[in-house]
Amino acid sequence: MKIKKITKISNRITIYFSIIIFGLTLAVTASISYIFSKEITKQYNNVAAEKINVISKILNENLDSIRHDAYMVENDKNIYDYMYKVNKNDFVGSEANTEFFNSLSEYSKWSNYISSVIPLTTDKKIMDPLYSQDPYSELIYGNKELDNFIESGYSSKFSAPNTFPFNYENPDYEKKTNITYFSRYLDKENYSLLGYLMINIKKKNLFTNIDDYCNGVFDSTFIVDQNGNLIYKIGNLDYNKAMLEKVNNDTLKIKNEKYMEFNNVIEAYPEWRVIGLISLDSLNKNLNAIKVLIYCIGIFSIAVVIFISHITSRKITDPIYDITKAMNKFENGEWPDKLEAKTEDELKYLIISFNNMIHNMKNLVEQIYKEEEENKKLEVESMKTQLDLLQSQINPHFIHNTLNTINYLAIKNNQGEIREIIQSFNSLLRQSISTNKKLITLKEELTCTQNYLKIQKYRYGDIVKLVCNIPEELCDYLVPKLILQPLVENSLYHGIVPKGYAGTIRIDILPQKDFISIRIIDDGVGISNKKTEHKGFNGISLDNISERLILYFGSEYALKVYSKIGIGTCIEFNIPYID
């Protein structure tokens, strides 16, 4: 089936413009959606990481508060005296016994965390008559974590969640409402062991103030010990350390659903850590809703653009159609009538320009013959210019041939110094007038500079010493031609020669990470700003060199001149690596 060609320009503009806008809008919408999704994910990660840090900080404060309460218990005089006498098997009166248990009871009342304090002797006997009875005694004497703590040698330790003061068989997570803080009670004078303290803490009191920070950010939050055993959880996801299947460093897989993991160790008790999980499915649902909204806005924008482009194209094409009819009349050999501008925009100037063009065409026809004569004169002048350029190209070659003839005569008459000057000058001249290469190697540029100084040696004697520091691996990198010789010439004429006695010019070429650093340093008299305008052997000034560097590589590669009168001058610039 043959597609009918669209001949009306307004329709073509509408279609073409709509296609372009559609493509641009689709690309922009997709880009915005992608960038926005990435940014939202990034911000979500930042918020989650910050929440984990806040939760860790709160737990640090809670654990430090528990340690502080335990420290107050351990340093209570009534408790200490009682524990000391019991350990030494001294007689303890009923009054001291009463004060001891009243002190323990007081700490349970005013502390936000402590529910009970149970003192034990060094041989694990319970001092409190209440807790020495069943079922409490069974929970204490059969406590494996207490035995492990005593054998470990630690000064203090938090237990895993337990059911104290209740005794359940195979208790689940909900029944383990207590955490015990084990502490060694020591003699203040010689730090010998006087007994042990079991400080019981309600788990909900320890972790209750972190719930608000977890809800709304994490789907589930777990506090686990170093073995992966659960201490506390927030959220509906059941915990099992075997279920945490690692996908990568930041992602877990639980029951075929992926979660982002945020993990942080609790500094106050490094054996515990916080794990926050965010479901990738729920996060992606939110992101997809945002993407749908963005795409709907994009589609609506495309519809509006198509409508506007059609109206706009009509306003543009109607005046153009009038101009087209006038042009057809002009092609048939008739001068068209003057067009009338009906709009106050660029099209008005187009119609005015068309009217002026027709008017000027009449005048231009009359001037054609005159311009043809002038063009002939211009062609003659162009030929003369080309001949002059050809002659200017011949002259340097004539100079080279003449120098080679003089060099031959110097060799014939055994004039070594003249021969060396001729060879150096010839090489320097050839390099300066060559046009086939704009970039040469550092080795070639240094050779050109050395040839220049050889010539100056016969004029000034040993007034200057050239020192070149360049690693071998930099010799084959390219630099703009005639970049070092004018700088060395500037140092010679404005630094060393005015000094009146011998000096040194040092060229340091050093490799950097992204560029080559080049410095020309002399110990001359120093230069003023006006002297940077001097043009040397090749007519090249320092300003010219700086402009060339900027032209080749950019403004950050401009020439830098540091000079101090009476001390010397340092000219510095950088060159990017060019093989």
Question: What's residue 379's pLDDT?
Answer: 62
Amino acid sitting at position 212: D
Token pair for 168: 């359940």
pLDDT tens digits, one per residue of 85-94:
888 887 777 7
Alpha carbons within 13 angstroms on the beta-carbon side of residue 258 total 10
* Per-residue pLDDT at 291 exceeds 70: no
| Domains in the chain with CATH codes | 49-282 (3.30.450.20), 439-576 (3.30.565.10)
pLDDT tens digits, one per residue of 485-518:
889 988 888 888 898 888 999 999 999 999 999 9
Token pair for 163: 């059911």
pLDDT tens digits, one per residue of 65-78:
888 888 888 888 88
Alpha carbons within 13 angstroms on the beta-carbon side of residue 284 total 7
In 95-217, beta strands by DSSP E: 114-120, 156-158, 178-186, 193-202
pTM over 0.85: no
Cα–Cα dist 131/38, whole Å: 58
Alpha helices (H) in 208-279, listed in sequence order: 211-214
pLDDT tens digits, one per residue of 346-357:
667 777 777 787
According to the 3-state scheme, what is the secondary structure of 497-521? HHHCCCEEEEEEEEECCCEEEEEEE
Query: 3-class DSSP state for residue 187?
Result: coil
User: Of 208-217, 231-240, 298-307, which gets the smallest average pLDDT?
Assistant: 298-307
Stronger pLDDT, 153 or 338, i.e. the higher one: 153
**What mean pLDDT is predicted for residues 201-212?**
85
Amino acid sitting at position 504: T
* Angle, CA 407 vertex, CA 403 and CA 408 arms, to 5°: 120
Q: CB neighbours (10 Å) of residue 20?
A: 12
Rg (CA), the chain: 47
pLDDT tens digits, one per residue of 520-551:
999 999 887 655 555 555 556 788 888 888 88
Cα–Cα dist 485/505, whole Å: 12
- Adjacent-strand bridge partners of 35: none
Cα–Cα dist 446/471, whole Å: 13
Question: What's residue 508's pLDDT?
Answer: 94
By the 8 A CB rule, do 519 and 571 touch? yes
Amino acid sitting at position 152: S
Cα–Cα dist 339/319, whole Å: 9
Query: 3-class DSSP state for residue 402?
Result: helix
- The contacts of residue 59 (CB under 8 Å, 6+ apart) are 206, 207, 210, 223, 266, 268, 269, 272, 274
Question: What's residue 346's pLDDT?
Answer: 66
Cα–Cα dist 420/108, whole Å: 104
**What mean pLDDT is predicted for residues 403-424?**
61
Cα–Cα dist 277/251, whole Å: 9
By DSSP bridging, strand 515-522 and strand 568-576 are antiparallel
Among the listed residues 327, 325, 102, 75, the one whose alpha carbon sits nearest the alpha carbon of residue 194: 75
Q: CB neighbours (10 Å) of residue 259?
A: 25
pLDDT tens digits, one per residue of 91-115:
777 787 888 888 888 888 888 888 8
Percent of the chain exceeding pLDDT 90 equals: 12
Question: What's residue 561's pLDDT?
Answer: 92
Token pair for 258: 């992926």
Cα–Cα dist 447/484, whole Å: 10
Q: How far is CA 342 from CA 310, 316, 328, 350, 359, in A?
A: 19, 12, 21, 11, 20
> Cα–chain-centroid distance for residue 258?
29
Predicted confidence band at 39 (pLDDT cuts at 50, 70, 90)?
A: confident
Q: What is the DSSP letter of 160?
A: P
Stronger pLDDT, 408 or 154, i.e. the higher one: 154
Token pair for 12: 């073509």
Among the listed residues 501, 579, 496, 489, the one whose alpha carbon sits nearest the alpha carbon of residue 532: 489
Query: 3-class DSSP state for residue 183?
Result: strand
Give me the count of residues in the chain.
579
Question: What's residue 398's pLDDT?
Answer: 44
pLDDT tens digits, one per residue of 356-394:
877 777 777 667 767 777 766 656 554 443 434 334 344
By the 8 A CB rule, do 522 and 534 touch? no
By DSSP bridging, strand 230-234 and strand 251-254 are unpaired
